[in-house]
Amino acid sequence: MLIQTPAEGLYDELFDSDNRVRPHCKPLENWLVDSDEDLIAEKRREANVLFQRLGITFNVYGEDQGADRLIPFDLIPRVISAADWQILSSGLRQRVQALNRFLHDIYHNFEIVKAGVLSAEQVFANPQYQPGMQNLKLPRNLYSHIAGIDLIRHNDGDFYVLEDNLRCPSGVSYMLENRRMMMRLFPELFASAPVAPVDHYPALLGETLRAASLKPNPTVAVLTPGRFNSAYFEHAFLARQMGVELVEGADLFVRKNRVYMKTTVGPQQVDVIYRRIDDDFLDPLAGNPKSMLGVPGLYAAYRSGNVVFANAMGTGVADDKSIYPFVPDMIRFYLGEEPILKNVPTWSCRKPKDLKYVLEHLSELVVKEAQGAGGYGMLIGPKATKKELSHFADLLKAKPHLYIAQPTLSLSTCPTFVEEGVAPRHLDLRPFVLSGKKIQMVPGGLTRVALKEGSLVVNSSQGGGTKDTWVLEGDPC
C-alpha cells in the first residue's frame, strides 16, 4: 500500500524530516507497506458495523438527522516511543498535581492571589468559581480526580499542552474500544511491537473513585444525565466495566443529608458519585431550579461531607482558558519546579495590550472562547473569510474578557486511511490522569484526528475521528 509522505516543514509521527521512517515506527511501516488496500477498506467497514452494534456512538446537539452517529475510526494507529511517554507522563503528573493544589488554594487560603500571581478578579469573578466550596474540606484535598489533558506536537518535535479538562473529561471509552477493535481486527500486528496495555483503565478508575472517600469499601455510582446525552455510551460503558451502578437523578434521593439510590432491596447509601453532570444542574435547590437532571438536597449532602463528587464542584475555574496561561506559574508557585510540558503562547484579550495585538494580527491567530468547548466559538484566522474576521473583531471589542488568542501551531501529522488512500492528517492526544492515593494513568490516551485535508480541528462534533494510540514499552536500539 502506498503511503503519502508529509508536507515539508511539518512534524510527522511516522517519517522524520528526511522522509525516513522513525525507528520505533518501523513495524507499523512494514505492516502498511505489506497490507492490501482493499483488505484495509473491508476491515474498516467491519469496524463500523461492530461499533454500531456495540452502540459506540455520540450525539451532536442541534442536528436534525437524529440521534446518534458513529465517530469515524481510523485503522492506522499512532505510535509514541517509550522515551517520549516517559517525558509526557512526568509532565502530566506535575501539571495535574499543581492544578489540584491551585483549586484547594483558591477555596481556602488564596495564597496565589495574595502573591499577585493571579488577580482576585480572574479567580473570584470567574463564572465557574463556586463560593460555596470555600473552606469545604475534601478528602486528600483532591478536586480533579479525573483529568483529560489535551496535547499537540508542534513542528519543533516538542509536545505542548493545548488545554486542561478538569470537570467531566470524556473520550476514554473510545480509547479503550479503539484498542479492542484493533486487537480484534489485526491481532498479528501486536506481535510485531511491544505495545503497552490500556485495558486496566477501568480498574484504575474504580480504585481512584474508591480512594476519593475515606470510608472503607465505599459505594460508588456513575451519575448520568441520561441516554440522550452525547457521552451516554461512555457513562454506561465505564459503570459496567467498573461493576458499579449507573444512575440518573430520579434514581437517587437525599434523606438527612445522606444520598441513597433506589434498589430492588431498598435504599442503599452512595458514598462517591462520579458525576457527568455540570455543577449548575446537580441540585435544583442550589443551582438551576429548572434542572431535572440532578437531585434535590444533593448539595447539602455534599457540604455535610456525606458524599464525595468526582470531580469536585468548582473545578471549572482551573480549566478555564483564561486561567490556562498561568499554569506554568502555578507549577513554580506550588511545587517549586520548572514546567516539564510547555504551554502554547497565549494572549488574554482582557488585557488592553493583548487585545490590541490580537486585533492587529487576527488573520494569523486562533481565537477561542474562554468557556468554549468542542471546537465551537473558535476562529482559525489563517482559514477564516474576511466576513468571519470582521465578525470576530466585533465580538472581541464588545466582550474581550471572554476570549483568548494563540498562534496557529501546526499539529503533527500521522498516516490516516482516507478516501484517496493513506495520507497524513493532523492529530492531537488526550491522556487521562487519575488522582487518588497516588497519580496514575495508562500509557497513551485518546488520539483524535482531523480527517479533512489540512484541517486542524480534531473534535468529533466538527468531523474529526479517532485512532488507537500505541505507547511502546521499549524503544529499538
User: Facing residues of 414 across strands?
Assistant: 425
Q: Which three cell numbers stand for residue 52?
A: 454500531
Cβ atoms of 2 and 421 closer than 8 Å: yes
pLDDT of residue 61: 47
Contact (Cβ atoms closer than 8 angstroms) between residue 137 and residue 414: no
Direct distance between the N- and C-terminal alpha carbons of the chain, in angstroms, rounded to an integer: 27
Residue pLDDT, tens place only, 214-257: 999 999 999 999 988 888 999 999 999 999 999 999 999 999 99
**What DSSP letter does each residue of 425-439 carry, written as one string?**
EEEEEE-EEEESSSE
Task: Specify whether the CB–CB gap between 273 and 283 falls below 8 A.
Answer: no
pLDDT in tens, 127-157: 999 999 999 999 999 999 999 999 999 999 9
Whether the CB-CB separation of 461 and 374 falls below 8 Å is answered with yes
Query: DSSP letter at 22?
Result: P
Q: Residues 418, 439: contact at Cβ < 8 Å?
A: no
458: three-class secondary structure by DSSP: coil
Which positions ≥6 away from 458 have C-beta within 8 Å? 375, 411, 426, 427, 428, 448, 449, 450, 464
Query: What is the pairing mode between strands 258-261 and 378-380?
Result: unpaired
Query: Would you tell me how many other CB atoms lie within 10 Å of the CB of residue 199?
Result: 12
Which H or E element spans position 148? strand 146-153
Residue-wise DSSP of 227-286: TTSTTHHHHHHHHHHHT-EEE-GGGEEEETTEEEE--TTS-EE--EEEE-S-GGGS-TTT
Q: Which helix (H) or strand (E) holds 78?
A: strand 73-80
CA distance 178 to 466: 8
From residue 273, give the alpha-carbon distance in Å to each of 108, 276, 285. 23, 9, 18
Question: CA angle, corner 285, sides to 122 and 167, nearest 5?
Answer: 40
Cα separation, 59 vs 198, in Å, equals 25
For the chain, residues with pLDDT lower than 50 are 61-62, 64-66, 477
Residues 6+ apart with CB under 8 A from 21: 14, 15, 29
220, three cell numbers: 460508588
- Would you state the pLDDT for residue 70? 74
350 close to 113: Cβ distance less than 8 angstroms = no
In Å, how far are 13, 160, 416, 421, 439 from 424, measured between CA atoms?
9, 20, 6, 10, 34
